[in-house]
Chain A
Amino acid sequence: MNSELIQRLPALSVEEDLLTQEALWRLLRRQARLYAPESSSLPAETAAALAESIRLTLGVDRDPRILLCADLEQRLRLGQRRLTQKVELSKQLWRTVCLTLPEIGNRSLTDTLRSIGGFWNRYDVHFFAQEVPCDMDYQLSQPVSETLQGVDYVNDWLRRLCLEQDFLRRFDPSSVRAVVAGSCPDYRGLLINLFEPVAVNALGLSLLGENPRFLSVSPSLRRKLEAQFARLTEMESDAALSAGAESLSAGLGIQNRQTVQYLNSLALGLRPRLRAALDAGTLEYVFLEFLSFL
Chain B
Amino acid sequence: MDLERIFLPAQLTVTAEELAQSNRVSRKFGLDLSPAQADMLARRQVEALREAGRIEFGGGILKKLVLAFCDSPFIQPEDWADTLAQLQTIFYELKNETKDRLGDDDLIFRMTARFNGAAGGSLDALESTPPEWFFHPEAERGWEADDEL
A51 within 8 A of B: yes
Q: Which A residues are in CB contact (< 8 Å) with B56?
A: 40-41
Q: Does A43 belong to the interface (CB within 8 Å)?
A: yes
CB distance from A105 to the nearest CB of B (A): 41
Shortest Cβ gap from A36 to chain B (Å) = 7
Residue of A whose beta carbon sits closest to that of B7:
A25
A39 contacts B96, CB within 8 Å?
A: no
B7 contacts across to A, CB distance below 8 A: 25
What 0/1 readout, one digit per residue, does chain B (61-78) give for beta carbons within 8 Å of chain A? 100000000000000000
Structural contact, A42 and B6, CB atoms closer than 8 A:
no
Q: Within the complex, what minimum Cβ distance (angstroms) separates A30 from chain B?
A: 9
Contact of A41 among B1, B2, B55, B105 (CB under 8 A): B55
CB-CB under 8 A for A43 and B54, given A36-B100, A38-B106, A51-B1: yes
Q: Are B92 and A41 in contact (CB under 8 A)?
A: yes
- Which label, helix, strand, loop or mixed, suits the secondary structure of the B interface? mixed
| Chain B residue with the shortest CB-CB distance to A38 | B103
Q: What mask results when residues 86 to 101 of chain B are scored 1 for a CB within 8 Å of chain A, else 0?
A: 0000001001100010
A32-B57, A41-B49, A41-B54 are known contacts. Are A21 and B104 too (CB-CB below 8 A)?
Answer: no
Q: Contact: B6 with A41, CB < 8 Å?
A: no
Judging by beta carbons under 8 Å apart, are B6 and A25 in contact? yes
Instruction: Tell me if A5 is interfacial: C-beta within 8 Å of chain B.
Output: no
Give the interface SS of chain A, mostly helix, strand, loop or mixed: helix
Closest Cβ neighbor of A29 among chain B residues: B57
Contacts of A33 in B (CB 8 A): 57
- In B1-45, which residues have CB < 8 Å from any A CB? 1-3, 6-7
Minimum CB distance partner of B64 in chain A? A40
Taking a contact as CB atoms under 8 Å apart, the answer to whether A42 and B57 are in contact is yes
Closest A residue to B49 by CB, please name it.
A41
Contact A22 B100 (CB under 8 A): no
- B142 contacts A by Cβ under 8 Å: no
A-B contact pairs, 20 of them (CB 8 A): A25-B1, A38-B103, A38-B104, A38-B105, A38-B106, A39-B95, A39-B104, A40-B56, A40-B60, A40-B61, A41-B57, A41-B58, A41-B104, A42-B100, A43-B100, A45-B53, A47-B3, A47-B55, A48-B1, A51-B1
Question: Top 8 nearest A-B pairs by Cβ distance?
Answer: A38-B103, A40-B58, A47-B55, A41-B56, A32-B57, A41-B54, A29-B57, A44-B53
